[in-house]
Structure 1
Amino acid sequence: MAYLAEIPYGCYWSTPFAKWMGSLARLHSIEFAAHVAKAELARRDIPAGMFDFGVLGTSVPQKHCFYGAPWLMGMIGAPQAGGPAVSQACATGVRCLLTAATEIQAGLATLALSATCDRTSNGPHLYYPDPGGAGGTGTAEDWVMQNFSYDPFTAKSMLATAENVAARYKVDTRRQHEVVLRREEQYAAALADDCAFLKRFMTLPFEVPTPNFRKTAAVMAADEGVTRSTPEGLAALKPVMEGGTVTFGGQTHPADGNACLIVATPGKARELSRDPKIRVRLMGFGLERVEPAFMPRATVPAAKRALEQAGIGIDKVKAVKLHNPFTVNDIVFAEETGTKIANLNNFGSSLVWGHPQAPMGTRSVIELIEELVIRGGGYGLFSGCAAGDTAMAVVILVDERPA
């Protein structure tokens, strides 16, 4: 099926992503997202007063996050627009896109902002009171660190899910490292010609504001914390888990940043598009959950569900982007779908530029759109796994708008 909602071409943006405890570590993620959105809307001459809906995607709590999307929309100059806050770990970006599209499909909105942001750095340390505890003492949680390392349903870490999949599909360390080198080679294409690909949706050089947003604290040339691997360097790494296969080189790194997409009715999409001839349509979504502690393979059934809703097979897809916290994600997807692993994730992926959770999927969809435009249009697929052994996927179509 084709959803009514479209993404106006060029009406999206992403910050560079910064390594954990790097240049963006002190910025309140929601306030920072509003700061960036306000500037990017001004660059596109889009009045904030046009929005009648907003959805905020975030997975790491920040101060005052209770006020969610209405707070963010107010900060960008759109106090007339409300909406929900959504949290679905690394599937948050696709979930927000579907939420915005559904609101338009239902006739409840005409122009929506899907804003996603997270800061894994300096994550909150939460205390849960327990009057029934010994002496009235409660329990504490380090939101980021403990949830990375422990799924309360399976009692397994995310790394353990990658090892389970690697064992089932007989994926050794050498094969994982081959994919690492290919993904870094693809990301290098995004940096070519003075970051020409990134500059299609990212303002570079990027001025990092101070925490009060009154001055510039630093300038980022592009993504921060990207590793440059060599075959020799990867070969020297040992698996992180005893008896395992996944090394630090074969997995992503935590990061900070934000990314936004505008979703609109066809008429408003034509009006706002950087090129009115280019149409970006939403064709299908998918959500799936696999057996406990096998998270990386969830991208496969989610993608199949999205393709089924779009009414096409994988053979019709010109470009595929995957959330790949581990290289085993890409290997399993290629084996299960018959796609060529070397052709997945052109221009980069979360394996290379990092893992800020909520905005990761949004940036991936943005890059997918731009890749399809460069290649003359066609179907694109993004699928990303998430905590709880789930995944969400979306199929888009970039084509020429009828006269």
Structure 2
Amino acid sequence: MQAYIPYGAYWSTPFARWQGEFAELHAMEFAAHVTREALAQRDIPVETFDFAAYGLTVPQYRSFYGLPWFTGMIGAERLPGPTVNQACATGARLLATAAGEFAIGAASAALLVSGDRTSNSPHVYYPAPGAPGGTGQSEDIVLESFNKDPFARCAMIDTADNVARRVGIETAEQHELTLYRQGQYQEALKDEWAFQKRYMAAEFAVPDPRFRKTVKTISGDCGVYPASPEKMAALKPVREGGTVTFAAQTHPADGNAGLVMVSDPGRARDLATRGDAPLVELVAAAQAREETAHMPAAPIDAARRALDLAGLSINDMDVVKSHNPFAVNDIAFARAFGIDWRDMNNFGSSLIWGHPQGPTGLRAIIEMIEELEMRGGGHGLFQGCAAGDSAMALILKVR
């Protein structure tokens, strides 16, 4: 697979808990605002790209125009590409999409961006003139998607309880993992956010809804609350007879992230942000789908397929990152591969810093690259579940 990420040619906003700092910002316009500045800071002109893809899972006003609108807003009016939606696997899907374009010779340099806003999601009405009285159906895009899988006929939290029941995961271990993940996230905040500054602005200027002025400046993620063992111990499972509490799952959020991918290693070095930068290569990508209503277990099969494609084993992975909307995800994954979940998700994961859906995986992949660089290179595995009991996994090599 000939696909490379120029070191440093990626970025992420802080993630803000829904109904927080980014709640009034149109997700696509916000992503364009951030992307223009990110490319300018890295001295990468839009003429570099012959392909782009935009990841969006929550519709925004006039988002029907998707990628062409986004590229128009960043000054790349002739740049083609698709709008991608694979729920929470959208970030990984963007990389796989670009790699596919490279493989067939249709492109050589891709701009991959995802931005979502779970805040103030659309409330949609579907007309039905032929129904009794002409009464149609209405839907809250975010809340009903969380709570009603139309095929599995259950909420996402029920899929976590199902996996916990199947594998034998108790509430106490879920809380233990959540506390440990909080500690890992704190490592990223040490020395004035030293780790996060490797890919995120130290001080992020929050624009007004018209993107004309700065309304406030933030440092790091917003709405991440410290976990309290005492408070967690007092929580009851959300579902009667279940094990998953509110403390052992992530929170919806808003934000965006992006990265550059090219088909040539020499070009990757040219676009890197420093002369001695490592080479970041996409080695494999795969997807899978689990038994109905068992979403958190889906990354296990996706990871196995990616490892098989790469000809590697889990023991060859120097870094493992996950999109873990539930603590159950990581426990089930670690048991399946015979590893310690404490060795996963150094410096943070979506369980703690939140889940804006489309960009969630991109941020985790970016953090994986930075951790591998700090280690002096190696292989990294990213895996994450998505709506519909599905998942994606990919393997990167930093050398």
Do these two structures clear the TM 0.5 threshold for a shared fold by scoring above it?
A: yes
Which amino acid in structure 1 is aligned with residue 267 of structure 2? Answer: K
1:358 equivalenced with 2:358 (yes/no): yes
Give the superposition deviation at 1:398. Answer: 0.2
Give the superposition deviation at 1:35. Answer: 0.2
Which amino acid in structure 2 is aligned with residue 351 of structure 1? Answer: L
Which amino acid in structure 1 is aligned with residue 274 of structure 2? Answer: D
C-alpha separation between the residues in 2 aligned to 1:276 and 1:337? 37
Give the superposition deviation at 1:11. Answer: 0.3
Tell me the alpha carbon deviations over residues 188-214 of structure 1, each in whole angstroms, 9 at most, x when there is no partner: 010001001101000121111001000
C-alpha separation between the residues in 2 aligned to 1:274 and 1:346? 24
C-alpha separation between the residues in 1 aligned to 2:211 and 2:177? 39
Tell me the alpha carbon deviations over residues 279-331 of structure 1, each in whole angstroms, 9 at most, x when there is no partner: 00000111000100000000100001111111111110000001111001000
C-alpha separation between the residues in 2 aligned to 1:128 and 1:287? 32
C-alpha separation between the residues in 1 aligned to 2:240 and 2:103? 50
Determine the structure 2 residue equivalent to 1:234: 232
Determine the structure 2 residue equivalent to 1:21: 19
TM superposition outliers: structure 1 runs of 4+ over 4 Å: none
Taking the TM superposition and a 5 Å limit, the aligned residue runs for 1:249-264 are 249-264=247-262
Determine the structure 1 residue equivalent to 2:339: 339
DSSP 3-state at the match of 1:112 = strand
C-alpha separation between the residues in 1 aligned to 2:161 and 2:135? 37
C-alpha separation between the residues in 1 aligned to 2:175 and 2:365? 25
C-alpha separation between the residues in 2 aligned to 1:220 and 1:142? 30
Give the superposition deviation at 1:275. Answer: 3.2
C-alpha separation between the residues in 1 aligned to 2:179 and 2:310? 32
2:110 to 109, 112, 117: 112
Taking the TM superposition and a 5 Å limit, the aligned residue runs for 1:172-211 are 172-211=170-209
DSSP 3-state at the match of 1:358 = coil
Determine the structure 1 residue equivalent to 2:274: 275
Give the superposition deviation at 1:231. Answer: 1.5
C-alpha separation between the residues in 2 aligned to 1:127 and 1:296? 31
Bigger Cα displacement from structure 2, 185-194 vs 128-137: 128-137
C-alpha separation between the residues in 1 aligned to 2:98 and 2:274? 22
Tell me the alpha carbon deviations over residues 137-177 of structure 1, each in whole angstroms, 9 at most, x when there is no partner: 21111000101001000111100000001111111111110
Gaps of 5+ in 2: none
Determine the structure 1 residue equivalent to 2:166: 168
Determine the structure 2 residue equivalent to 1:73: 71
DSSP 3-state at the match of 2:158 = helix
Which amino acid in structure 2 is aligned with residue 329 of structure 1? Answer: N
1:4 equivalenced with 2:32 (yes/no): no
2:29 to 31, 42, 49: 31
Determine the structure 1 residue equivalent to 2:142: 144
Determine the structure 2 residue equivalent to 1:367: 367
C-alpha separation between the residues in 2 aligned to 1:221 and 1:261? 21
1:214 equivalenced with 2:212 (yes/no): yes
C-alpha separation between the residues in 2 aligned to 1:364 and 1:236? 31
- Contact between 1:57 and 1:93, CA under 8 Å: does it hold in 2? yes
DSSP 3-state at the match of 2:339 = coil
DSSP 3-state at the match of 1:130 = coil
Which amino acid in structure 2 is aligned with residue 29 of structure 1? Answer: A
C-alpha separation between the residues in 2 aligned to 1:188 and 1:162? 26
Determine the structure 1 residue equivalent to 2:100: 102
Give the superposition deviation at 1:276. Answer: 4.5
DSSP 3-state at the match of 1:385 = strand
DSSP 3-state at the match of 1:226 = coil
Bigger Cα displacement from structure 2, 235-244 vs 369-378: 235-244
CA RMSD of aligned residues (A): 0.9
Change (3 A) 1:283 1:276: farther
Which amino acid in structure 2 is aligned with residue 270 of structure 1? Answer: R
Gaps of 5+ in 1: none
DSSP 3-state at the match of 2:179 = helix
Percentage of matched positions with identical amino acids: 55
Give the superposition deviation at 1:230. Answer: 2.1
Give the superposition deviation at 1:227. Answer: 1.7
- Contact between 1:27 and 1:210, CA under 8 Å: does it hold in 2? yes
C-alpha separation between the residues in 2 aligned to 1:202 and 1:109? 28
Determine the structure 1 residue equivalent to 2:298: 298
C-alpha separation between the residues in 2 aligned to 1:33 and 1:143? 20
Give the superposition deviation at 1:265. Answer: 2.2
1:44 to 38, 42, 45: 42
C-alpha separation between the residues in 1 aligned to 2:62 and 2:174? 41
DSSP 3-state at the match of 1:361 = helix
C-alpha separation between the residues in 2 aligned to 1:238 and 1:276? 53
C-alpha separation between the residues in 2 aligned to 1:126 and 1:268? 45
- Contact between 1:377 and 1:398, CA under 8 Å: does it hold in 2? yes
Determine the structure 2 residue equivalent to 1:329: 329
C-alpha separation between the residues in 2 aligned to 1:79 and 1:110? 18
Q: Give the TM-score normalised by the residue count of structure 1.
A: 0.97
Bigger Cα displacement from structure 2, 67-76 vs 27-36: 67-76
C-alpha separation between the residues in 2 aligned to 1:43 and 1:327? 37
C-alpha separation between the residues in 1 aligned to 2:64 and 2:98? 20
Q: Give the TM-score normalised by the residue count of structure 2.
A: 0.98
Tell me the alpha carbon deviations over residues 220-256 of structure 1, each in whole angstroms, 9 at most, x when there is no partner: 1110111201221211111111121111110000000
